[in-house]
A and B are shown apart, each in its own frame.
Chain A
Amino acid sequence: MRKRLALAGVALVLIGYPFVFGSATAINIGVLVMLFAMLGTAWNLLGGYAGQISFGHGVFFGLGAYTSTLLLRQFGLSPWAGMLAGAALAAAVAIVVGWPTFRLAGHYFAIATIVVGEITHTIVRNADALGGARGLSLPILPGSFLNYEFHEGRLPYYFVALGLYTVALLVTLEVERRRIGFYLRAIREDQTAAQSVGVSVLQYKLAAAALSAALAALGGTFYAQYVLFIDADSVFPLSLSILIALVPILGGAGHAIGPLLGAAVLIPLSELTRITFGGTGQGLDLVIYGGLIVIIAVLQPGGLVTLPRRLHSPVAPGRKGSA
């Protein structure tokens, strides 16, 4: 009951936000918060629940962006259909790449995901058929929901992003409730133990990866429709993959609502420091952004989700046992 009430409260805040903060900057930040909450939620399925830390989710984001954009440019296919095609392709790629890499343990896996991302980034940047380093611009169509383009203000984009986040959240809550959710957490806690009681580890990791990749690809298409221009350096860079991981880690990995918390803190922080201090080109924005990340990690190593629990318990959870 309390959980439902909390969810209703969050929904109210998210729907009300653009009406309270109506400036173009505030709505842009809102759009980015929803986009990264959604991407972080996608990451969370694989990284948070199954414990497979990926620094390569930019690959799936980029696949989504490029698939829908190319289908739109070449065949005039609706971006909505293109978005689903991108999600399907990303899921397929996740399975093909996951098959050999899921054998790797811990940091070996994390580095493999970085490497896959960097290889993809290099290939796309050098592929003339994909626009190469020049990138691809999207055709400007009359603004409508059907065309997935809006030209009078960014408000409609905010609600599309909110809708996508809701989809990702519902998928997560469903996974949490079902058998797969328990299996994934069992794999995260102790893979060998999970295997020995009959959980087919590879199969469930692949399922989590496919689901996670498909959701991340939806975000990629959204980004392409929002900015109307994509190139390899904007949708495939390592920094994007890292941000997709940092959002849920900050909020609390393995908690359904964690990525939203992380995005609500990290994205405005990054945008506001960039707007306020970035113009000088002196790196002060990076100093503040990086410094705050360090401070948060040191003060709140379990993620923001654990904050209320820490405030309520007389002993900080970290002191109960050494890590």
Chain B
Amino acid sequence: MDILAQSVTSGVLLGLILALSAAGLTLIWGVMDIVNFAHGDFLMLGMYGTFFAWSILGLDPLVALPGVVIALAAVGVVVYATIIRPVLRGSVLAQIFATFGLGILLRGLAQFFFSPAFRQVGETASSGIVAAGPVSVGREQVVAAAGALIVSLLLFAILDRTTLGTALRATAEDRTAAELMGIDSARMFALAWALGAGCVGAAGALLAIYFPIFPDVGATFGLLAFVTVALGGFGSVTGAVFAGILIGVVVNLAGVLVDPSYKFAIAYALYLVVLSIRPQGLLGRA
């Protein structure tokens, strides 16, 4: 039983970070119908930013986090303005092609400038062990998950309580009607990219506290983010959070109960099973 409690706990902790990165992805999709296939590579950028803030400036990842979020939000806006806007007039295929290319480009740049070597943030203020009853987990995992939860709640507050958030949701709901109400959809698209990239930047900064950093690190996490988003229902931020936690738990349990080499495959299989019952995902609009 102990091992189950243990793996469910770590699963939830990982799931909260997955949820945050998936929330960023689903936000962009919900607002403008585009899937950013470079999303995992944005996460990688966030992780590197955090690492260099730690190794060069001596900043704790938690201190570096706001700066990383702002930097990634800027990356999001630049990507929107230079790449996404021009391909909006093309087909869905052109959009896929562009963001895939961007992902390869970012990975190549990371390899070129940072080398393929694995890097790891050393001792931080979050290091240590937390024990509660039979369960003991790394304190850095708890801190990262708590941080992810706080940022996710902030995102909810922005979407739910601010005028800007309301305008963003209106654009997602019905672009034409929102435009007639005087909402500039181009500005909303830029905002969605800023928020979406900012979220995944925060997820990267938090993950960097304990996870090794390398140019391809975004590949697995990016794929998990897609599955999380689709499982939760495209465009649903709440769905992404639930699905993130669910996937985190399934990945960890499968690693313990079945075989570590099958842990991702089993999470993917869960996606197929759920979607064959609910084709619009857990909380998606049908």
Contact = CB atoms under 8 A, between A and B. Distances in A.
A and B interact physically: yes
B222 to A, nearest CB: 10
Chief secondary structure at chain B's binding surface: helix
A245 B100 CA distance: 11
Interface in A90-142: 100-101, 103-108, 110-112, 114-116, 118-119, 122-123, 125-126
B86 interface: yes
Nearest to B268: A115
A253 B101 contact: no
Interface string B261-281: 110110011011001100111
A291 B101 contact: yes
Contacts of A245: 96
Nearest to A108: B230
B275 A104 contact: yes
A112 B272 contact: yes
A298 B109 contact: no
A301 B94 contact: yes
B133 interface: no
B86 A301 contact: yes
Contact of B271 (A115, A126, A249, A292): A115
Contacts of A283: 107-112, 116, 215
Nearest to B107: A286
Nearest to B263: A122
Given A108-B275, A112-B271, A284 B101 contact: no
Interface in A62-116: 100-101, 103-108, 110-112, 114-116
B283 to A, nearest CB: 13
A265 to B, nearest CB: 12
Contacts of B94: 249, 297, 301-303
Interface string B199-224: 00000000000000001000000010
A38 interface: no
A283 B111 CA distance: 5
Nearest to B234: A107
Nearest to B276: A100
Question: By CB atoms of chain A within 10 A, which of B230, B261, B281 has the most?
Answer: B230
Interface string A286-305: 11111111101111011100
Contact of A287 (B108, B115, B262): B108
B163 interface: no
Given A249-B97, A283-B110, A298-B83, A108 B280 contact: yes
A290 B223 contact: no
Majority DSSP secondary structure for residues of A touching B? helix
Interface in A161-196: none
A274 B88 CA distance: 30
A238 B265 CA distance: 13
Contacts of B112: 282-284, 287
Contacts of B134: none
A29 interface: no
A5 interface: no
B90 interface: yes
A31 interface: no
A122 B108 contact: no
Contact of B272 (A53, A115, A296): A115
B101 A114 contact: no
B104 A293 contact: yes
A126 B263 CA distance: 12
B35 interface: yes
A20 B259 CA distance: 53
Contacts of B104: 286, 289-290, 293
Contacts of A119: 265, 268-269
Given A108-B279, A114-B226, A287 B88 contact: no
B230 A122 contact: no
B230 A111 contact: yes
Contacts of B105: 286-287, 290-291, 293-294
A62 to B, nearest CB: 15
B271 A293 contact: no
Interface string B66-101: 000000000000000011001111111111111011
B93 A53 contact: yes
B246 interface: no
Nearest to A284: B112
Nearest to A121: B265
B115 A282 contact: yes
| Nearest 9 interchain pairs by C-beta | A301-B90, A283-B111, A286-B108, A293-B101, A290-B105, A290-B104, A297-B98, A301-B94, A287-B108
28 contacts: A108-B275, A108-B281, A111-B226, A112-B230, A119-B265, A126-B261, A126-B262, A245-B96, A253-B91, A281-B111, A283-B108, A283-B116, A289-B108, A290-B102, A290-B103, A290-B104, A290-B106, A290-B108, A291-B105, A294-B83, A297-B94, A299-B86, A301-B86, A301-B87, A301-B90, A301-B91, A301-B94, A322-B89
Given A112-B272, A245-B96, 8 more contacts: A103-B279, A105-B279, A110-B35, A249-B96, A283-B116, A290-B102, A298-B87, A303-B93
